[in-house]
Structure 1
Amino acid sequence: MIPRRTRQGAVFQQDMQVKAIPTLSWAEDASFQFCFDGIEPGGTVSVSTIGVKRDKESMEVWKAGMDEAIKRLKPSAVVVYGGDIGYKFPCKTVYFENAVTEKMKNGR
């Protein structure tokens, strides 16, 4: 399975018989009206935590969006790109580190 950042890319991959994991993305509460459209409830989704931990307002927006995604989509699993930010997911969770988060851990 390949995490995808755009739904268009995911649709293309699915058409090519490649399993795709939709990436969740949102902004303020107003975006909740449309940002989860087209994502099948009960499946696996991916989300990024990069850039959230160091800014209180970003963290609040991220948590509100993740809470709403969990409520609406009830995912069976979440693939998290970036570090653990202390959010308690109610389902299976897999974390993927990257070069940016590794550098941050090492103080570079």
Structure 2
Amino acid sequence: MISIKQGDSFALPIQFYDTDTNLGMIITDEMVISSQIANTSGQVIATPTISKLAEAGMILLEVPASITQNWKMGKAQLDIKLVIENSVRHSQTLTFNIERSITA
């Protein structure tokens, strides 16, 4: 399971695949990619910034340390959704741990 410490920057690369070719999907401006992170109470604690990367199908989800420093220890869920032509083509939820930072 993925873990992040309070106050660390959160950066997670994700790759979307074309299921017909098993290759990275070309991400176009018509595609809508959205993501949110929620705690175990269902409260949204971050909306990651989404950047396209050079490799086909690759994006980077980022949350700055200024936000993660306020996260409470425990489990959290990252939800990501890809919409093409008003149709959800991919939706995934990843669970990760938020750990206490020991070093100041």
Q: Which has the higher contact order (CA 8 A, sep 6+)?
A: 2
Larger radius of gyration: 2
Normalised to the residue count of structure 1, the TM-score between the two structures is 0.25
Structure with greater helix share of residues: 1
Normalised to the residue count of structure 2, the TM-score between the two structures is 0.25
